[in-house]
Structure 1
Amino acid sequence: MLGKRFQSTISRFPYPSKSQQYRYYESQVEQITKWWESSRFKGIKRTYPAELVASHRGSFNIQYPSSIQATKLFNLLNERFLERKPVHTIGSIDPVQISQSAKNQEIAYVSGWACSSVLTTTNEVSPDFGDYPYDTVPNQVERLFKAQQLHDRKATSEWIQNPQRDQIDKIDYLRPIIADADTGHGGTGAVMKLAKLFAESGAAGIHIEDQLHGGKKCGHLAGKVIVPTSTHITRLIATRLQWDIMNTENLVIARTDSETGNLLSSAVDPRDHEFILGVIEDVKPLSEVLYEAESQGADSSKLNEIEQSWLEQNKLYTVSEAAELKLKELGKSIETFNEFQAQSKGKSLYDTKQIFKELTSHDLKHDIEAPKTREGYYPVKNGIDVAVKRSIEYAPYADLLWLETKTPNLKYAQDFAERIHKIHPDKKLVYNLSPSFNWSAHGFSEQDLQNFIWDLAKAGFVLQLVSLAGLHTNAVSNFELSEAFKDQGMKAYVELVQKKEKEIGCDVLTHQKWSGANYYDELISAVQSGSSQTSSVGKDSTEHSF
């Protein structure tokens, strides 16, 4: 009898009746609805109801530390955006770097490029083509977040036990982490699983770019393929839905690589049509020309030559450019062209051609199929216009917008920000202070370089990052030490490392203490009282010499 009652109680966990279970669901719907109306989600659009989210939450109400960090990040960005001041940081690749930057950097950043080239879950390092296992960056985030928590516990314990604690500040090691989610690593399901992994691992925010999964390349490499605008919006919605189900406030950043991306994976979205390039003559499609050459034995180098020759012989135009040429050929006035531009702006190819015919009684020849690549990608006219249009479309679904640029140009960035803020005045912007730029080759004075971050912030680029700073500082310091150590031995180590650690107050000087030896020894001693002889930080520890 007791066994049956016990089993019955377990089966009803956590709610004693069906009606209470349903009331819990209804309370969740109410809570979600109010949550979405809060200032945290001002300007954020969802395409699904609160009922859907509530019905997929299950019975456990879990609080994720990443959401706490996200709230911290959101408040910090809000404050700085209103002040038009920056939140800027340097990318970290290991626990040493993330702990050493905590004193002076308010946030932390984890780069997919760095993870791809330094640490993947398969230990197979490679270029940033987004082809590493999708758990690679979340695993790195988890590693760094756990390191942050260790150093936070150490710092808190030391501060509380310090009699002079009222006179000193405790370093905040729990700096919110922003991480690179690349393209989302797959379809909608993969994006949601990746978003879940990041939230569980400790990332306060992630950025997702509009490149093609499987064709992704580093934002500063050539040959980038972008996806339809609608595809990327789906990624942003999927990320938000996953976090809504988890009841977290993590931030999603919509990044566009369309400023330099020269190919489009599909022409399915009419919003992309005005930028797709086509031919205005009847020509054999490029893919057919290449197929015929290959079937006749042409090797890869010969195929590349044939492709270049085809593109040189067949000039590509946007539909607007094709219309301008045709209007000139027909002898139409500038007024007709202006009328065509006004009516066709942002329209699909079909509608654009219909408008042209209504204005001129002539058909407009513009074939976007002929120049497609062998993979089926459409050439597009990249640049600031497509980047602005896409960013405006992404804005309702993202917390911040990221424009990936080919040069560090302040005026260019300011123009982009101005165009975005005409439509979305409260949207925060992100800027990649990339080491891929040869900063010394862009005409900056020393004063320009020093002011660059703060000038960007005045335009609304509140979040700024040197994505691979950790990678490059690691390389510089190790190269310098290894070169000097070859001839100078320990003199080089003492002068380049240990002496400098002492001078600047770097706590890794006493690396045993930095790693938590003192912190854990105190806990072990509390359990194993009377074991001072086995203490790891006893009188024989060499770190007492510092």
Structure 2
Amino acid sequence: MPKLEISIQDEQRGFEAEVKAIEKQWAAPRQLHLKRPYNSRTIAALRNSIAAPSTASSTQGVKLWNQLNTHNKNGTTELTFGTTDPVAVSQMAKHQQTVYVSGALCGFSEVAIPGMDHADYPWDTVPKVVTKIFKSQLWHDQRQRQFRLRHPVEVREELENWDYMAPIVADGDMGFGSLTSTMKMAREFVEAGVAMIHIDDLAIGMKKFTIGQGRTVVPTSEYLDRLTAVRMQFDIMGSETLLLCRCDTDHSEFITSVVDERDHEYVLGATKKVEPLQKHLKDGQARGEDLKAARSEWIESASLKTFDEAVEAVASKEEVDFYKTELSKHKFTSLTKRREIAARTVKEEVIFDWELPRSAMGQYLFKPSVKAIVERALAAAPLGDVTWARMDSPNWKDIVEFHTDVRKVFPERLFAFGYTGDYDFAKAGFSEEEVKTLHLDLAKMGVVWQVQPIWSLQGLNLVTEQFGKLWAEEGIAGYLRTVQGPALSTKPMTDGFEKLSYCGGYLADAFFETVAGESITEKGAAKDFKRH
């Protein structure tokens, strides 16, 4: 290969210019809130000599940033839902400002072997779906634009003019492996044209939202490393793509490691001298006992508590107060330091062993709380643009506490919120009127982006089942009455194959006409066109 002929001085001047360009971008209003653990010179050195493709993602990212901040200023919110279907996306443009691509939906419909939402699909699955949807948006944008420009200015007011380029928000799950895998995924998303991706703090290979024991988070430090890897990849590409920091700590039962002292306050330990949980389960299995029952029995016998709860169980009120006073002198306190403080302030021995309850996979038992979620969100906030605390149930007290506490530190923080398909609002104490205004009440706290992630599973399945039954029972008569008739009679006509402006008929004509040397606009006749 040829050797690059460039002087060292020119190379250095180019590098310094790159550094200045990066610093200018980071100082702009769009990125001024971000704090990075690396500097501009490092990023400049990590870049290619040819700029990485990020224009579309940056354009969409800035567009989304402006949309969300406008909502924040006005106390309003964006309501969107999840889909993987370009046809559905084309209709969302009439009512939604954004499109959501859920990993769960992709795992059900976009892979060779569908499955439950365990993020066990290939890491490039969701970026490929984003590519498909973004290309469909470009096509709709193109065919609408040329159709409008075929008409004189005075009649265009009557023509449809939808913003088909709704920014795409996509599910990055937990990054799919090592930090380099996370970076590669982030790059694929940017090249696909995504506006924002979210990264969560769940453990890879241990994602469970089902009943029983299951959901596992990673240490705070590992979560921050994931976010840093994504932010670094965005910076290497010079992209304005947004990063949504999602905390799945709510209702998590396990944590993979206790390497980070920020998590020690919430790890559970046995406060009774019992045999290890795994030995108890192994012996119970040998006796033919039900393992869930055996586990519950052991948990009760072990009297699981956090270390602070273990202190409160044996200490006097005065000792507890002194213990808490000493703890308050430290922002985060490791278990070792907690033991030292307890030894000085509490007469009784504090029995606490967090090794005994560990699972067969080595996970530690974890006691989540709103405080724990807030701490993670605050630690992650400087790396990202939006915060999302995934909550298993619509507990209004917890929702208010989380968003209020984060905004005490970051007053202008933007939030996202996801509604699951089985929220029981009545059980959570919501009245019908409170449910009706929930999205508006959330908006007042800065929740500017709200999503029903799995509409395609719940909503589309319901509609399809209902139509399938009608079609089987009534045939074409049922179709004419419920679908074709209403669609053709609406004004403007509902988008469909009969509507040439929507299905691309006029766009195809434009291609043929252009090749033939004809003009497709009112005043653009190609008088001087000559075919060679």
| Fold shared by both chains (TM-score > 0.5) | yes
Give the equivalent residue in structure 1 for 2:18: 28
Write out aligned runs for 1:159-308 (5 A).
159-163=148-152, 164-166=155-157, 168=159, 170-218=161-209, 223-292=214-283, 297=286, 302-308=290-296
Give the equivalent residue in structure 1 for 2:356: 370
Distance in structure 1 (CA, Å) of the matches to 2:344 and 2:319:
15
**RMSD (Å), alpha carbons:** 2.3
Distance 1:481 1:360, change over 3 A: closer
Secondary structure at the aligned position of 2:456 is classed as helix
Deviation at 1:382, TM superposition (A): 1.6
Distance in structure 1 (CA, Å) of the matches to 2:387 and 2:479:
44
CA deviation profile, 1:80-104 (whole Å, cap 9, x unmatched): 1122211221222201110001011
Q: 1:53 aligns with which of 43, 46, 55?
A: 43
Q: 2:413 aligns with which of 421, 427, 432?
A: 427
Q: 1:75 aligns with which of 47, 52, 66?
A: 66
Write out aligned runs for 1:12-23 (5 A).
12=4, 17-23=7-13
Contact 2:497 2:503 in 1 (8 A): no
Name the aligned partner's letter for residue 495 of structure 1.
Answer: R
Distance in structure 1 (CA, Å) of the matches to 2:424 and 2:469:
24
Distance in structure 2 (CA, Å) of the matches to 1:477 and 1:229:
42
CA deviation profile, 1:397-418 (whole Å, cap 9, x unmatched): 1111101112224443222111
Residue-pair matches, total: 513
Alignment of 1:43 with 2:33, yes or no, is yes
Q: 1:124 aligns with which of 99, 113, 130?
A: 113
Deviation at 1:42, TM superposition (A): 2.4
Give the equivalent residue in structure 1 for 2:82: 91
Name the aligned partner's letter for residue 326 of structure 1.
Answer: V
Unaligned runs of 5+ in 2: 519-532
Distance in structure 2 (CA, Å) of the matches to 1:454 and 1:332:
45
Name the aligned partner's letter for residue 260 of structure 1.
Answer: H
- Which region of structure 1 is more displaced relative to structure 2, 81-90 or 331-340? 331-340
Deviation at 1:279, TM superposition (A): 1.2
Alignment of 1:317 with 2:305, yes or no, is yes
CA deviation profile, 1:111-147 (whole Å, cap 9, x unmatched): 1111111212xx2111101111111111111000000
CA deviation profile, 1:342-401 (whole Å, cap 9, x unmatched): 346731101111111122366532111011111111111123121112111111111111
CA deviation profile, 1:8-32 (whole Å, cap 9, x unmatched): 7xx54xx754432321111001111
- Which region of structure 1 is more displaced relative to structure 2, 497-506 or 223-232? 497-506
Give the equivalent residue in structure 1 for 2:146: 157
Give the equivalent residue in structure 2 for 1:500: 486
Distance in structure 2 (CA, Å) of the matches to 1:257 and 1:503:
46
Deviation at 1:433, TM superposition (A): 2.1
Q: Indicate the percent of aligned positions where both proteins have the same amino acid.
A: 30
Unaligned runs of 5+ in 1: 1-6, 531-546
Alignment of 1:458 with 2:444, yes or no, is yes
Distance 1:488 1:312, change over 3 A: same
Which structure's residues are more often helix, by fraction?
Answer: 1
Contact 1:219 1:257 in 2 (8 A): no
- Which region of structure 1 is more displaced relative to structure 2, 143-152 or 430-439? 430-439
Deviation at 1:332, TM superposition (A): 4.5
Contact 2:102 2:453 in 1 (8 A): yes
Give the equivalent residue in structure 2 for 1:354: 340
Alignment of 1:386 with 2:372, yes or no, is yes
Contact 2:315 2:347 in 1 (8 A): no
Distance in structure 1 (CA, Å) of the matches to 2:294 and 2:436:
48
Name the aligned partner's letter for residue 435 of structure 2.
Answer: L
Distance in structure 2 (CA, Å) of the matches to 1:203 and 1:443:
37
Write out aligned runs for 1:325-336 (5 A).
325-328=313-316, 332=318, 335-336=321-322
Contact 1:33 1:50 in 2 (8 A): yes
Secondary structure at the aligned position of 1:402 is classed as strand
CA deviation profile, 1:158-197 (whole Å, cap 9, x unmatched): 1111221255562110000000011111111111111111
Distance in structure 2 (CA, Å) of the matches to 1:333 and 1:233:
36
